Chain A
Amino acid sequence: MRLSAEERDELRATARSLLGRENARATDLWDEMVELGWTTIHVPERYGGAGAGYADVAVVLHELGRTVTPSPFMSAVLAGGALSLADNEDVAGLAGASPGTVALASTTGAYDLSRLTTTWQSTGSSVRLAGESGFVLDADLADILVVAARDDDGTVVALAVDASAPGVRVEHAPTVDQTRRLFTVVFNNVTVPADRLLCEPGTRAEELLERVLAIGVIAASCDAVGVAERAMEGAAQYAKDRTQFGKPIGSFQAVKHHCANMAIAVEASRAATHAAAESLDGDPAAWPAGAAITSSYVGPACSHACALALLVHGGIGFTWEHDSHLFLKRAKLDEVLFGTPSWHRRRLADAAFPGLVAERN
């Protein structure tokens, strides 16, 4: 059951107070979030989740963004979401269990399934994985990896791989955004039982992985909106407090218009992301288009808002000590974490334009 508006407000308030605590240890925070059931809010009850919706998970993602909290929450949400989509009920049953993550990208950061750098080969009752997946969030903390791989013919599979399986190795790939942890996952002839396939190889697996990617894009957008919203609030407060030429700098129109542009970006991104998160609780066939629309607008708009927030702070905003760079770096990572806006736009064009042209010409 989806949360009511009141329950969602309550969730937001709880998340805000939990994440707003000073000097909270990351592991304590994680334990509490798991305890509260937040990592599986969206997982159906039959798989051990709360059976609420993505629009509810979105509330927590937004709050994590606002506080630029380092947390494996997003990867857990994606793994749970991916596993819940599995046709194979045994694999889907893992959705509510252990923390996981998704490995969808190539070592160059491409999300196009034709560019996967992890390969698979059938050995009868099992699948052998080789190669590497790039840019995997929180892989060192995951028990289960949802892995996309292709074979020599280009047939794609989605597999639930135990992170502890022999031959799996994770290598930290430090990012400019220090609030996030990305990894390269190396598969050295890893044997995975065939009953760990999420679904039939081929077109069904491609469809499923597209949907997982859509969840990723929208989750990253939820984070970005929280980041940009908090950056905007901080900049607006600074513009009221800081005086130059005997006046608050927020009374100067150039600064005021920077702030207005942040508000425009945040408001539009919030509405778009909210609609996209709601859509994840509806027909999955519509997810990729909704995700592409979100990626196209929200990522660039939120990082632009964070850039303006840094500028409004002037010299102090350019220091390591001040938080501005944390917001900006995190928003920049969110913008491209699950594929560039440019790539998503081109895919949107490929999906939407032929119909429009046929209808009108």
Chain B
Amino acid sequence: MLEPGGDLDELRQGVRDWCASHVPKKWRDEQRGVSHSDLVEFMRWWGTQLREAGLLAPHWPKEWGGGFSIPEQIVIAEELARGDVPRNGLYHVGVFNVAPTLLHSATDAQRRRFLPGIRDGEVWCQGFSEPNAGSDLASLQTRALRDGDRYVVNGQKVWTSWAREADWCMLLARTDPDASKHKGISCLIVDMHTPGIDVRPIQQAWGPSDFNEVFFDDVEVPVDNLVGAENSGWAVAQGTLSAERAIAILEATERLRCHGVEAAVADAVAWRLESGQPALDDSAIREFLAEFYAEVHVLRHMLNEMIEGIIRDVDVGGTSSIIKVFYSELLLKLMQHVTALQGVAGQLDGPVLACSGWETGFWMNDYIHAFGWMIGGGTNEIQRNVIAERMLGLPR
């Protein structure tokens, strides 16, 4: 078990040693092309490994089993990325999205009730988007009608990752249909084992099916499961932009550097031009790879500044949108160039690796997968509106 509060270099070495002894040597090969149920089983196993090492939720407060400082969290993120560990997809929503929201907006009783479960391996999903409420999330129509000490939920959610595996859902539903659209929404915690919930998988463009549609048909939710005040769900869900989200992107950035850009450089020795020359000998190819190498460093500098801003309690809302756009477009651009470089040989199909980062070495599949980052978490088009409105004060 790694402990907070020690020397940073020792922590770095500790995480590095842990990766060396706990990450199965051939996990990338073994996990390529596995069934959905085998994928989930592997992720549960991996989550247990992280939990036992104290690495599942290092950013949580000490009383809840975390307590690592921000510099320590950065070291952990860097070393997990460098160690090319499997990605903690299954528990990400609970650990990185739900827990910070609960810590910020929930009652003590709710925290005591739900946080230990997240830590101990319960899976959470997030019921936000709907078929008619994507970018315009506040127009969501799922209803939660108060009936005594419970709400009755009816409606449909979509793009819900890991809903089939989820024990709980953090749901946004309309509790006041007469209020203006942002003001009539509440945040509810729904037990996914409640009768009336129907979950149907959606296969994504890159192959896997961790997405789902979730249908709610007269689903009863105790009023105790309301997070924050009734009709304040929009603010609850926006939460505060806390450092752990920046650190989650920092980990993704380090993966992009090590296993994306640097791997492409190493791979480009083996790729051949029409002339038979190694692609890495070609000056145009060297130039664009160096450009991406530079950009991933620029991104890291931006992240460092944002994290410093969060520590100093500066508003970094606009910066976080910039970082999301910059990261996703760099990721996609790399995949775009590498697939173009590979030529028709890069078009051969193969088994997909679903529990890694976005850099699996199956570049064509990674290219398709990368679109998820352009769209998810607020499309880049919406992010650009946010940047222009929040940072530059342009009218809506």
Contact = CB atoms under 8 A, between A and B. Distances in A.
A353 to B, nearest CB: 5
A357 B304 contact: no
A256 B394 contact: yes
Interface in B66-118: none
B311 interface: no
Contacts of A361: 266, 269
Interface string B370-396: 000000000001011101110111111
Given A248-B394, A257-B384, A353-B290, 8 more contacts: A250-B394, A251-B394, A256-B388, A263-B391, A267-B319, A269-B298, A274-B301, A361-B269
Contacts of A267: 302, 319, 322
Contact of B301 (A236, A272, A292): A272
A310 interface: no
A298 B297 CA distance: 12
Interface stretch (A42-50, A99-107, A175-183, A343-351): A343-351
B340 interface: no
Contacts of A240: 393-395
B326 interface: yes
Interface in B275-331: 280, 283, 286-287, 289-291, 293-295, 297-299, 301-302, 304-305, 318-319, 322, 325-326
27 contacts: A236-B392, A236-B394, A239-B392, A240-B394, A248-B394, A250-B392, A250-B394, A253-B381, A256-B385, A256-B388, A257-B388, A263-B322, A263-B391, A268-B298, A269-B298, A272-B298, A272-B301, A274-B301, A274-B305, A275-B304, A296-B290, A349-B286, A353-B289, A353-B290, A356-B266, A357-B269, A360-B263
B266 A360 contact: yes
A297 interface: yes
Contacts of A263: 318, 322, 387-388, 391-392
Contact of B304 (A260, A264, A271): A271
With a 10 A CB-CB cut-off, give which of A250, A297, A345, A361 has the most chain B CB atoms. Answer: A345
A290 B290 CA distance: 12
B283 to A, nearest CB: 6
A357 B280 contact: yes
Contact of A349 (B266, B287, B322, B392): B287
Nearest to B267: A360
Contact of B294 (A232, A296, A353): A296
A342 interface: yes
Given A260-B385, A271-B301, A346 B283 contact: yes
B395 A250 contact: yes
Interface of B: 262-263, 265-266, 269, 280, 283, 286-287, 289-291, 293-295, 297-299, 301-302, 304-305, 318-319, 322, 325-326, 381, 383-385, 387-389, 391-396
A354 B283 CA distance: 14
Nearest to A343: B287
A239 B294 contact: no
Contact of A346 (B287, B298, B385, B393): B287
Given A346-B286, A348-B290, A356 B262 contact: yes
Given A271-B302, A353-B280, A236 B393 contact: yes
Contacts of B326: 264, 268
Interface string A235-274: 0100110000001101101001101110110011101101
A248 B325 CA distance: 25
A76 B295 CA distance: 30
A328 interface: no
Given A257-B384, A296-B294, A251 B396 contact: yes
B126 to A, nearest CB: 26
A345 B305 CA distance: 24
A293 interface: yes
Contacts of B290: 292, 296, 345-346, 348-349, 352-353
Contacts of A296: 290-291, 294-295
Contact of A239 (B319, B322, B394): B394
A315 B158 CA distance: 45
B329 to A, nearest CB: 9
Contacts of A268: 298-299, 302, 322, 326
Contacts of A239: 392, 394
A29 B286 CA distance: 44
A360 B261 CA distance: 12
A353 B286 contact: yes
Given A240-B393, A348-B294, A259 B388 contact: yes
Interface string A38-68: 0000000000000000000000000000000
A2 to B, nearest CB: 16
B354 to A, nearest CB: 23
Nearest to A278: B301
B285 to A, nearest CB: 9
